[in-house]
Structure formats: C-alpha cells, structure tokens
Amino acid sequence: YYLKRLEDDPDDKILHYNAGTSALKGGRTDLAATHFDRTIRYSEDPEFLAKTWYNLGHLYTREGKLEDGLKAFEQAILLNPGDINSKVMYELISAQLQQQQQEQNQQSDSRNQEEKEKREQQQKQKSSDEENQQESQHDQEKEDQSRQDESSESQSKPEESQTRQQEARAEQKEEELTRQQMVNLLDAMREKEKEAMKEILRYRYRKSTIEREKDW
C-alpha cells in the first residue's frame, strides 16, 4: 500500500515513515532502515524526527548494533527531551554496553592472567630443563672422570707390575752378585791357603836341608 503511494509521491516523509514502521513490524529491517533514512532526509519537524530516530534505535537494537541504537535514542532525546521512552531505552542500552565492557575487561584480564601464568610456567619449565641439563652434564662429567680414572688405574697396573718385576730381577741380580762374591771370596781364600801351605812346605824344606848340612 505505502509502496504504491510512494510511486506517486516518493518524497512524502509520512509515507516513508509509515512504510518503515510497517517493514520493521514485518521483520524487514533493511527496508525499514531505508525508509527511516529518507524520512529523516525529507522531514524538518523535530517531533516527527524524534519518532523516526526512536524507531531506528529499536531497529539497530534488534540487529544487535547497540552502539548505533544508543546514538539513535540519543538523537531522539535531543530532538524531544520529554520523550520518556527514548530515555528509558537509552539507559537500558547504556547499562547493557557497560556490562558488556566489564565482561570484556574481565575476559581480557583473565586472558592476560592466563598468558602471564603460561609465561611463568614456561619460564619455570625452562629453568627446570636447564637445571636438569646441568645435572645431566655434571653426571656425564663425573662418569667420564670415573672412566678416565679407571683407565689410568688400568694403565698404571701394568707399569706397577713391570716395576715390581724389574725390582725382583734387580734383587735377584744382587743376590746372584752376592753369591758370586762369596764364591770368589772362597776361591781367594783357598788360593791364599794354598800359597800359605806352599810357603810352609818351602820353609820346612829349607829347614830340613839346613839341618842335614849341619850334620855333615
């Protein structure tokens, strides 16, 4: 009905307003917004404009555009300060936006806290990993040192055995030398005894010869 009449008079603000109201009731918010915009364009009556802004406020609120709805109700109040309905809607939407902002802040704080705890946990894990790595490195160094000590001990054992063998051979050699010295000493003593015996025999022989010569 209104669309047909608008074909004859496309600049009629009342027809646009009624067409917008009808479309809003029918759930056609896009068509309603178009007619309300044209109503505002063609009208200069503050009270009529206030009603149009009021309807736009409901339209934006229905679509979830709370900030646009709040601005629409604010325009309605500026044009008609006595409009109680616009003031009520303005307060309701303001409170709802504040609640949403608080929830967003809480969510943001919660995310920040979670991120902080996550960073702290990562830092603790990093410190723990570094500590474990240092302990592992220390254990590895101790194990390497132990192996090195065992290797050194293993290498020193043949050297000690060789040293003991050398000492034993030296002692045996000294003992052999001592025995040889004793043999040599005995041989020398025998030679001296022989020489002494020869001297005695020579002496006796000379004495016997002298005595025989005297007897003659």
CATH code assigned at 6: 1.25.40.10
Q: Is the confidence at residue 188, as pLDDT, over 80?
A: no
Burial category of 199 from C-beta neighbours within 10 Å (exposed 0-12, middle 13-18, buried 19 and up): exposed
Tell me the C-alpha distance between 111 and 117, whole Å.
10
- The length of the chain is 216
Predicted local confidence at residue 140, as pLDDT: 81
Nearest to 36, CA basis, from 24, 25, 45, 44 = 24
Looking at residue 92, its amino acid is: L
Confidence band (pLDDT; 50, 70, 90) for 44? confident
User: Is residue 73 in some structural domain?
Assistant: yes
User: Is residue 127 in some structural domain?
Assistant: no
Tell me the C-alpha distance between 55 and 76, whole Å.
9
User: Is residue 38 in some structural domain?
Assistant: yes
Confidence band (pLDDT; 50, 70, 90) for 74? very high
Query: Highest mean pLDDT range out of 2-6, 101-105, 133-137?
Result: 101-105
Nearest to 39, CA basis, from 10, 6, 4, 14 = 14
**Domain containing residue 51:** 1-122
User: Is residue 128 in some structural domain?
Assistant: no
User: Is residue 213 in some structural domain?
Assistant: no
Q: Is the confidence at residue 47, as pLDDT, over 80?
A: yes
Least confident of 12-16, 53-57, 137-141: 12-16
User: Is residue 176 in some structural domain?
Assistant: no
58 contact partners, CB below 8 Å, separation of at least 6: 24, 69, 89
Predicted local confidence at residue 57, as pLDDT: 94
As a whole number, the mean pLDDT across the chain is: 79
**Cα separations in angstroms, 118 against 101, 108, 109, 115, 124:** 25, 15, 14, 5, 10
User: Is residue 90 in some structural domain?
Assistant: yes
Q: What is the pTM of this model?
A: 0.51
User: Is residue 146 in some structural domain?
Assistant: no
Work out how many domains the chain is built from and give that number: 1
Confidence band (pLDDT; 50, 70, 90) for 209? low
